[in-house]
Amino acid sequence: MKFFKKIIIIISILVFFSIGSFVVAQEPLTLFLQNMSRESLVQLVMILLDQKEANLEKLNQETKKEEIIKEIEEPVDEIVFGTKENPYQIKSAQDLINLSIDSDLWDDYFIVLNDIQLDKNILFIPIAKNSSFSGDFNGNGKIIDGLCVNISDGEAGLFSHINGASVYDLGVTNVNVVGFDHVGGLVGTITKSGIIRNVYTTGTVKNNGNLYSGGLVGANFGGEIIDSYSTVTVEGYNEVGGLVGQNKGIITTSYSTGNVIGNDTVGGLVGLNHEGTIKSSYSTGTIITNSQNVSELVGNNRNGEIIDSYSTSVIKGIETIEDPETVAKKAKGNIRVHNGNSKSLSLVAGTRFLLNYKDLTYNAKENFIVNDNGYIDIEIEANEPGEEYNLYSTNTFSLPGLKNTEYYDLVWAELLYGEEILIEK
């Protein structure tokens, strides 16, 4: 009897899996099972086991089907590239070229993942040529090397024009940029609060037009340049600067060290500062020009603000380089430089001294240091040949390159009694 009781329990459980409900083992079922042989009961159990497996398999298939249908019917969020969260990736020169010519990309987000080597034998079309870039370009600390641009129309640089865009954490090295107005190593023009931050340029920039030549930016009309620098040699005609040709925005903690060559409104850092602001910035390169509208830091500061900025740039006339024999025809002599500041001051050869009663400029022959509250005697030379530079009596000089610094009113020079500045015969 124990065997039959076990069989009844097993069959009831199997029937549940087969038809989905328990069968109550009433007396007719019990009698029926008792009349079956042991072999028949085993066969019945096997049949019910097979049925149970088939039902479980069917159930699994239906469950999987429901899950697949659910996955198909549920909407999946599409990944959108070119956003702040998923910027387009610049991995190669070809990626950069694609950006330069595809106007649909010029308001998107980008990140540079590798150093990019451009082919110097292939001219690069500036990004957003004849238009503007208004997106976000994250240089990610990488370098773009070998930029070669040569155009006769439109703004020139890696970018043609950025309008409210951000370009940051990028080096653009060994540039060779030639354009016609609005020419810069990085960008021709900045407008609408565009931001350049932690960017530097090296190489050469040449403007075959008239206006706005800069080692980093040709013209900054309302943008901000922060923590950036240029060592580019810049050549232009009007409004030429080592960093920016014309500044109508803000320049902060930035500098230039490249040579600057121009005809009018030429400065070591900025050519024309037109209602712009320059803070904590400097220049050190050589300025080559015959223009009277020139200064070591800013060629012309027109209603602009210059704060805590300075220059050690040297100004040389173009004729000085082209005709070395004129050097012997320039007036020379010794002056005494006084420093009334509590800090010592180090100046370089070529530092300008402006005669106070007449608009005549002389240049220091050698580097020199004036100790705090001290003085030093140095030799100077006239900026240009001519007997009008001869001096025979006591005179005083100012240092225009120190303007807008704490030293300007405290550092001055004098021609001592009995000293002369004369052309050597």
Number of other residues whose CB lies within 10 A of the CB of residue 100: 19
Q: Do 64 and 111 sit in the same domain of this protein?
A: no
The answer to whether position 78 is within a domain reads no
Q: Do 216 and 193 sit in the same domain of this protein?
A: yes
Task: Give the pLDDT band (50/70/90) at residue 406.
Answer: confident
The answer to whether position 343 is within a domain reads yes
Q: Are 178 and 208 in contact (CB under 8 A)?
A: yes
The answer to whether position 83 is within a domain reads no
Q: Do 188 and 246 sit in the same domain of this protein?
A: yes
Q: Do 51 and 124 sit in the same domain of this protein?
A: no
* CATH label of the domain that carries residue 412: 2.40.30
From 73, 106, 133, give the residue that closes a domain: 73
Q: Are 375 and 339 in contact (CB under 8 A)?
A: yes
Tell which residue, 273, 272, 269, 247, has the closest CA to residue 260: 269
Calpha distance 28→17 (Å, rounded): 22
Domain that holds residue 158: 88-319
Q: Do 94 and 67 sit in the same domain of this protein?
A: no
Ranges 59-63, 229-233, 295-299: which has the least confidence: 59-63
Q: Do 227 and 375 sit in the same domain of this protein?
A: no
Tell which residue, 195, 285, 278, 200, has the closest CA to residue 235: 285
**131-148 pLDDT tens trace:** 999 999 999 999 999 999
Calpha distance 35→396 (Å, rounded): 137
Task: Give the pLDDT band (50/70/90) at residue 128.
Answer: very high
Task: Give the pLDDT band (50/70/90) at residue 414.
Answer: very high
Tokens of 356: 């106070």
The pLDDT assigned to 323 comes to: 47
Task: Give the pLDDT band (50/70/90) at residue 269.
Answer: very high
Task: Give the pLDDT band (50/70/90) at residue 348.
Answer: confident
The pLDDT assigned to 419 comes to: 85
The pLDDT assigned to 30 comes to: 55
DSSP class per residue in 89-114: EE-SHHHHHHHHH-GGGTTSEEEE-S
Calpha distance 68→85 (Å, rounded): 30
Q: Are 204 and 174 in contact (CB under 8 A)?
A: no
Calpha distance 72→102 (Å, rounded): 35
Tokens of 5: 């009781």
Tell which residue, 146, 94, 93, 143, has the closest CA to residue 120: 146
Tokens of 29: 């079922």
Burial class from Cβ neighbours inside 10 Å (0-12, 13-18, 19+) for residue 65 reads exposed
The answer to whether position 181 is within a domain reads yes
DSSP 394: -
Q: Do 145 and 180 sit in the same domain of this protein?
A: yes
With a cut of 60, say whether residue 9 has pLDDT above it: no
Q: Are 255 and 243 in contact (CB under 8 A)?
A: yes
The pLDDT assigned to 306 comes to: 94
**32-64 pLDDT tens trace:** 555 656 666 566 666 656 666 666 666 667 666
Calpha distance 270→236 (Å, rounded): 12
Tell which residue, 411, 368, 362, 364, has the closest CA to residue 390: 362
The C-alpha angle 122, 179, 278, rounded to 5 degrees, equals: 120
* Better pLDDT: 73 or 187: 187
Q: Are 382 and 330 in contact (CB under 8 A)?
A: yes
Number of other residues whose CB lies within 10 A of the CB of residue 271: 36
**147-188 pLDDT tens trace:** 999 998 889 999 999 999 999 999 999 999 999 999 999 999
* 3 state SS of 52: helix
The pLDDT assigned to 22 comes to: 42
The answer to whether position 223 is within a domain reads yes
Ranges 104-118, 140-154, 334-348, 393-407: which has the least confidence: 393-407
Percent of the chain with pLDDT over 90: 58
Q: Are 326 and 385 in contact (CB under 8 A)?
A: yes
Phi, psi of 251 (to 5 degrees): -125, 125
Q: Do 189 and 232 sit in the same domain of this protein?
A: yes
Q: Do 63 and 155 sit in the same domain of this protein?
A: no
Task: Give the pLDDT band (50/70/90) at residue 24.
Answer: very low
Q: Do 217 and 284 sit in the same domain of this protein?
A: yes
Q: Do 275 and 418 sit in the same domain of this protein?
A: no
DSSP class per residue in 340-360: -SSS-EEE-TT-EEEESSS--
* Better pLDDT: 197 or 48: 197
Q: How far is CA 65 from CA 18, 33, 74, 274, in A?
A: 21, 39, 14, 72
Mean pLDDT of the chain: 85
Q: Where are the alpha helices (DSSP H) in 102-259?
A: none
Beta bridge partners of 171: 143, 200
Q: Are 306 and 334 in contact (CB under 8 A)?
A: no
* 3 state SS of 373: coil
Beta bridge partners of 224: 195, 250
Number of domains in the chain: 3
The answer to whether position 79 is within a domain reads no
User: 3-class secondary structure for 5-37?
Assistant: HHHHHHHHHHHHHHHCCCCCCCHHHHHHHHCCC
Number of other residues whose CB lies within 10 A of the CB of residue 58: 10
* CATH label of the domain that carries residue 150: 2.160.20.110
Beta bridge partners of 339: 374, 411
Q: Do 285 and 342 sit in the same domain of this protein?
A: no
